[in-house]
């Protein structure tokens, strides 16, 4: 053999040894009408081709169930991937709406449990998968499997459901081969005198049994002719609007009794809010998460305050309005909770139009920066309850801190709230909220009324309820 031939053979062997052996992939059963679902799964298996190793779905489900008994939740994924020797998990469904049929395939990284991506392909009217669709499916799967991390296989585990006896050496011996058959007359068996049977020594148990039991979940197809789930893109925006009611108290702490108090005055208002979370981590069937932005406005509607100055009684219009713009970061806490932190900038104004001079209640306009946190608990997939709080750093308070009234001072505030969300069809929902807000101002002692009446603080608080309808999209 020539030197050139040896070099070529060595190069080919090295290239073959370093070639990419593909990924180890498990393809779970697809959801949807049974025939179409099986057709879709078979197409995915064929699209993976011989470049990837197809792992039996039973191997993965048994490994996942075995690991989940000791390590529940997302942490079970890397251990199950190592035990079963799986790099990627593929699942999907076929959705049939009248004449339109589509195949959705989801690729999940087995070593982390993170959904890498999904792809949706349109099928023919009868659900047939054409060669064009197969080529597109093969190309898309190949591109997505390049993102998958390869998990090392773990062969040191027992097969779930198998009974293993440790210390029983006889169980390891192969069964004795049967004696060969003999043809013709057989000689009489040789008889031997009976020998006394020695007493059988007492056996000591040296066998340990390990039995791993894998529970098999029961699946019930309530609607066998329809897909058991319909995947939806994760919503990125929310818009809601509704009506609210609020009761306000403005208490002025003073040494004299001549200060007008503003106690328990109600008002009605309209509120509209919008939120946008453009970068969800889970692209389908998820909730709002990641960095987000929100903006809300509110305006009083037909609210008045009645004042009696001793000479006449009058009704004066309440003009209460405001806005709030915020930056959010929302993240899940396990399977049921989510936390949302926010930094906001806004203004809330409360004016009494055309009030007489004897009505000594100043207009307020709280211009603020705020920071807050909100926690939501998911009751069902879309229903939730939540609570939260905010702290306000007030930059300006309006006439309340002008020299003509009570003079400058230091103002801060806080707010606590609780809410609920009730889902309706088509991603519409009803949202209710109850909130308590409080601003406190400590005066410096240089205002006109402060000097006359000895005022030293003002506490402006309100409690309100809001009910509205919104939509996620």
User: What is the per-residue pLDDT across 442-465, written as a single tens digit (0 to 9) for each?
Assistant: 999 888 998 989 999 999 999 999
Higher-pLDDT residue of 136, 349: 349
Higher-pLDDT residue of 345, 116: 345
pLDDT at 48 (0 to 100): 87
Mean pLDDT of 419-429: 94
Query: In the predicted model, is pLDDT for residue 419 greater than 90?
Result: yes
Superfamily of chain region 21-145: TolB, N-terminal domain (3.40.50.10070)
Query: In the predicted model, is pLDDT for residue 208 greater than 60?
Result: no
Mean pLDDT of 334-344: 92
Contact between 411 and 368 (Cβ < 8 Å): no
CATH 3.40.50.10070 residue ranges in the chain?
21-145
Contact between 292 and 330 (Cβ < 8 Å): yes
Contact between 321 and 349 (Cβ < 8 Å): yes
- Measured distance CA(388)–CA(403) in Å, rounded: 36
Question: Which tens digits make up the pLDDT trace of 19-45?
Answer: 445 889 999 999 888 888 888 888 899
Q: Burial, 407: exposed, middle or buried (Cβ in 10 Å; 0-12, 13-18, 19+)?
A: buried
pLDDT at 7 (0 to 100): 42
Closest among 263, 251, 214, 274 to 441, alpha carbons compared: 251
Contact between 315 and 281 (Cβ < 8 Å): no
DSSP 147-164: TPPPPPP---SPPTT-EE
Higher-pLDDT residue of 2, 172: 2
Contact between 280 and 313 (Cβ < 8 Å): no
Q: Which of 73-87, 104-118, 153-167, 429-443 has the highest mean pLDDT?
A: 429-443
Closest among 83, 21, 89 to 52, alpha carbons compared: 21
What mean pLDDT, rounded, does the chain reach? 80
- Measured distance CA(344)–CA(86) in Å, rounded: 46
Judge: domain 237-472, CATH 1.10.3720.10: no
Higher-pLDDT residue of 104, 161: 104
Higher-pLDDT residue of 424, 311: 424
Mean pLDDT of 233-247: 94
CATH 2.40.128.100 residue ranges in the chain?
237-472
Query: In the predicted model, is pLDDT for residue 126 greater than 80?
Result: no
Mean pLDDT of 425-437: 95
Question: How many other C-beta atoms can be found within 10 angstroms of the C-beta atom of residue 263?
Answer: 9
Q: Which of 119-128, 155-164, 414-423 has the highest mean pLDDT?
A: 414-423
Q: How far is CA 9 from CA 16, 18, 188, in A?
A: 11, 14, 68
Higher-pLDDT residue of 21, 205: 21
Rounded to 5 degrees, what are φ and ψ at 249?
A: -130, 130
């Amino acid at each position: 053999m020539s030197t050139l031939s040896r070099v070529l053979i060595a190069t080919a062997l090295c290239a073959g040894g370093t070639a990419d052996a593909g990924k180890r992939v498990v393809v779970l059963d697809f959801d949807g009408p049974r025939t179409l679902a099986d057709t879709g799964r078979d197409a995915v298996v064929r699209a993976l081709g011989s470049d990837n190793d197809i792992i039996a779905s039973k191997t993965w489900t048994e490994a996942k169930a075995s690991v989940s008994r000791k390590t529940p939740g997302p942490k079970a994924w890397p251990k199950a991937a190592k035990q079963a020797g799986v790099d990627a998990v593929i699942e999907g469904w076929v959705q049939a709406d009248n004449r339109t049929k589509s195949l959705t395939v989801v690729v999940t990284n087995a070593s982390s449990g993170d959904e890498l991506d999904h792809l949706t392909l349109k099928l023919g009217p009868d659900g047939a998968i054409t060669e064009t669709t197969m080529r597109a499916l093969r190309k898309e799967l190949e591109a997505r499997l390049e993102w998958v991390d390869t998990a090392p296989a773990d062969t040191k585990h027992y097969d779930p459901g198998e009974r293993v006896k440790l210390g029983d050496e006889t169980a390891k011996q192969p069964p004795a081969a049967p004696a060969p058959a003999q043809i013709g007359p057989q000689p009489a068996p040789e008889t031997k005198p009976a020998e006394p049977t020695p007493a059988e020594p007492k056996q000591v148990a040296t066998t340990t049994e390990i039995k791993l039991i894998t529970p098999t979940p029961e699946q019930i197809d309530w609607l066998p002719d329809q897909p058991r789930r319909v995947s939806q893109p994760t919503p990125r925006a929310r818009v809601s609007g509704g009506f609210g009611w609020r009761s306000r108290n403005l208490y002025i702490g003073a040494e004299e009794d001549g200060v007008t108090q503003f106690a328990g005055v109600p008002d009605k208002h309209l509120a509209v809010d919008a939120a946008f979370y453009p970068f969800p981590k889970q692209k389908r069937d998820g909730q709002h998460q990641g960095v987000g932005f929100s903006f809300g406005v509110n305006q009083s509607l037909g609210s008045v305050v009645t004042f009696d100055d001793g000479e006449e009684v009058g009704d004066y219009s309440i003009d209460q309005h405001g806005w709030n713009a915020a930056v959010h970061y929302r993240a899940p806490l396990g399977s049921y909770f989510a936390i949302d932190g926010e930094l906001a900038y806004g203004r809330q104004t409360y004016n009494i139009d055309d009030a007489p001079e004897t009505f000594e209640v100043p207009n307020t306009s709280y211009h603020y920066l705020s920071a807050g946190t909100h926690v939501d608990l998911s009751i069902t997939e879309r229903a939730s309850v939540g609570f939260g709080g905010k702290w306000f750093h007030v930059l300006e308070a309006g006439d309340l801190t002008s020299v003509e009234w009570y003079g400058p001072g230091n103002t801060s505030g806080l707010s606590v709230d609780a809410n609920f969300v009730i889902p309706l069809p088509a991603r519409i929902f009803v949202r209710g909220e109850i909130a308590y807000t409080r601003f406190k101002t400590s005066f410096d002692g240089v205002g006109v009324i402060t000097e006359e009446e000895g005022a030293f603080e003002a506490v402006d608080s309100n409690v309100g309820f809001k009910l509205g309808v919104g939509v996620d999209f």
